[in-house]
Amino acid sequence: MNRFTRVGVLVAASMLVAACAANEASEESAESSQEISTATTLDEAALIESLAAPIVYSDFGSRVIYFVMTDRYANGDPANDSGFLTGPRSVTGFDPTDIGFFHGGDLKGLTGGCTDPERGLQRLADLGFTGIWITPLVVQRTVQGDSAAYHGYWGVDFTTVDPRFGTEDELKTFVDCAHSLGMKVYLDVVVNHTGDVVRLVGSGFVEEPAPPYEAFVLDAEKDLKKPAWMNDVANYHNRGDINWGGCSTACIEQGDFSGLDDLYTEKPEVVDGLAEVFGSWITRFKFDGFRIDTARHVDKDFYNRWIPQILAAARSAGIDDFEIFGETWITEPIEQSKYQRVWGLPNQLDFPLFDVIARYAGGTQGAGGVMLRLEDDDYSRMSDGRAPTPGTFIGNHDTGRTAMMIKAQSGAEGDELLARVNLGHSLLYLLRGAPVIYYGDEFGMIGIGGDKEARHDLFATQVSAWQTQERVGSAPIGAGSSFDVKNHPVGQHLRELAALRKQWSVLWRGATLPRDRNDGAMAISRFDMADQREYVTIFNNSTESRLLEFATSTPSATFTAVWGGVESTNSDADGFVSVEVPPLSAAILRAEAKFPLAKQPPVVSAAPDDFSELWLLSAETSESPQEVSFLIDNGTGWRRVAVDDSFPYRAFVDPNALPTGSTSRIVAVSRFADGTLVPSGIATFTNTK
């Protein structure tokens, strides 16, 4: 049983009186700040006040990211298409007629001279993209089985650029160009595996305590990998392939991913070696962040050992806001959150939201799934106070394209499919997180599957099947280039959405509060704490209009329709509004009055969480928008657990971080839009888990 008792008051009587007075006072008479005093010591009060710092919004959350497969974007230098090798495609890897081989795209083509508004980075900047994520560039194991390494995930020389993608100087030019256009550059890196070079005497995964397979390398390949430590077979698990039909944790973390050599990331020399080689890419080329491929397939301690070294390398290169986000392909939000809360991964791609957003845009799921996923953000809030800003997406190079994902749900064609695709993109841009758009989606590409089937050429393709494939918003491309398609309706919509995020930063840095839903329509409030202003984003996935009636935090105010097809409206004295939402649409309302501040002290409590093994810290407080910092002291001093900026206000504590049977003190501190801090009383709970 959880023992929860009120044992005292954080604030002195004068503070409680002040807090109550602030709750009753008008907004105009509210003080701009308030000192915290305490029944114990002033030093403790000062510490609590300092820990109740404002929520942190990362630069990454402000970005609109274009994810591109370098080999498939544009061919700027045909001379490098075969990697300067001669022979058949089994040697060079080049066959532009086969979807599984190199097609000729490179860094020079992607850069486009930095001034080409039709093809290169300038085109992406004009579409509103402020970040670009590129697939791995390291030297590849050219061909494995019936496919080539055009995608970049079969690295063997991690020290330099594969010649098919270009040269180191061309990479520097690419990064410099992106930076000059205001774009951050995120490099895809692989820390889980290398290309398949190590041979095993066996194949299926073998669990401990059984020994690993005997491993060897052919004489001709014994020095193939770089750095040199990668050629030592002892630096690999050598336990055989992952069994995708049923796999233990050890199998997931130690098995060969589709036959690729699984690195022994538990070994310090492997961790340090990976930190050194990837740190050098930051130092030499000034990348702004890494996307981590197959991020859930390394051991759980890896990130806590590797990432500090990577961040140190970034700081030494003058990059203080280096971003790291992982591909943790887990659609269950609590399980995925462990990679941040426990295992040290700074950020992730939002697979839980991906799992529901395509269904919502496709019309096969109502608004409840999306709203619930947004509330699940609380499981990823951590002591650094950073607001959840995952990379959000609907389609990618593995799952298949956005239009395909939505079409698979809805069965829609023509104008309805276009409207649903635009609705899906509206969700990405108008909700929290950094929207990630997969290259080619801006040209209406649909595709017929994931993986190879979703990795189309933007330049004129020689793949006959791709020439005749259906597109949304335009005709099949034929023998032409996608770059010749002007003003595509999907691309135009993306440009419009990017302009909205640029105009109103609340769309990426505002607190998110799901309001109401009705048969496919939903309203979500966003709060600009600096301007004390409420915005409401509205969506409808139905082919019919829907009426939404919902509460806001701004009573007796005009809500102006600033974008989309809804009409402006007024809230009543209790803050309720009524809006008719057109079919398959999105819209934004903006309150013309500031939301009031109701500064009552929060009431903090602790209880076992119903959905996880964690302790749930909750704060009951006023309905006024606020940030609530949760602090805990288990005998070693106060520390922050998390900051929550939207109802329900809560934080989560791992019982494994507290001694069994120990009693901890907890406190919640509300921060209002004018900077006022209002604390709760101190409460205690005993860790009985």
What is the per-residue pLDDT for 15? 39
* Inter-residue contact 55 to 627 (CB < 8 Å): yes
CA distance 686 to 3: 6
End-to-end CA distance of the chain: 9
Q: pLDDT by residue (tens digit) across 286-319?
A: 999 999 999 999 999 999 999 999 999 999 999 9
Q: Are strands 131-134 and 65-68 parallel, antiparallel or unpaired?
A: parallel
Tokens standing for residue 205:
């995964």
Strand order in the sheet with 603-608: 603-608, 615-620, 650-653
* Count of CB atoms situated within 10 Å of the CB of 301: 13
What is the per-residue pLDDT for 8? 33
Q: What are phi and psi of 477, to 5 degrees?
A: -80, -25
Placement of tokens 């774009």 in the chain: 183
Placement of tokens 């990211």 in the chain: 65
- Judge whether 332 counts as a catalytic residue: no
CA distance 491 to 444: 8
Q: What are phi and psi of 192, to 5 degrees?
A: -85, -35
Q: What is the DSSP string of 163-232?
A: TTT--HHHHHHHHHHHHHTT-EEEEEE--SEE-S--EES--B---TTSPPPPEE--GGGTT-SBSGGGG-
- Which one is catalytic: 71, 327, 376, 627? 327
- Which one is catalytic: 95, 170, 293, 323? 293
What is the per-residue pLDDT for 203? 87
Nearest to 259 by CA among 211, 199, 171: 199
We find that the CATH architecture of domain 4-58+598-686 is Sandwich (2.60)
Q: What is the DSSP string of 78-136?
A: GGGTTTT--SSHHHH-B-TTSTTSB----HHHHHGGGT-TTTSHHHHHHTT--EEEE--
Query: Amino acid letter at 204?
Result: G
Domain definitions of the chain by residue range: 4-58+598-686, 63-192+267-293+309-326+344-363+380-499, 193-264, 506-591
CA distance 391 to 324: 11
Rg (CA), the chain: 27
Task: Tell me which residues of the chain have a pLDDT lower than 50.
Answer: 1-39
Tokens standing for residue 196:
């398949």
Spell out the residues 6+ positions from residue 164 whose beta carbon is closer than 8 angstroms to its own. 71, 80, 81, 82, 83, 93, 94, 102, 106, 140, 150
What is the per-residue pLDDT for 39? 42
DSSP assigned state of 601: P
* Inter-residue contact 31 to 22 (CB < 8 Å): yes
Nearest to 205 by CA among 259, 168, 127: 259
- CATH 3.30.420.40 assigned to domain 506-591? The reply is no
CA distance 90 to 404: 31
Query: Amino acid letter at 606?
Result: A
Q: Do 63-192+267-293+309-326+344-363+380-499 and 506-591 come out as alike in CATH topology?
A: no
- Judge whether 43 counts as a catalytic residue: no
Q: HEC profile for 42-74?
A: HHHHHHHHHHCCCCECCCHHHCCEEEECHHHCC
CA distance 328 to 330: 6
Nearest to 353 by CA among 392, 403, 389: 392
CA distance 360 to 366: 6
Give the side-chain half-sphere CA count within 13 A for 185: 25
What is the per-residue pLDDT for 42? 73
* Inter-residue contact 428 to 394 (CB < 8 Å): yes
Nearest to 130 by CA among 221, 210, 72, 60: 60
Spell out the residues 6+ positions from residue 302 whose beta carbon is closer than 8 angstroms to its own. 191, 265, 266, 271
- CATH class of the domain defined by 63-192+267-293+309-326+344-363+380-499: alpha beta
Helix (H) or strand (E) holding 493: helix 489-503
Tokens standing for residue 206:
């073998």
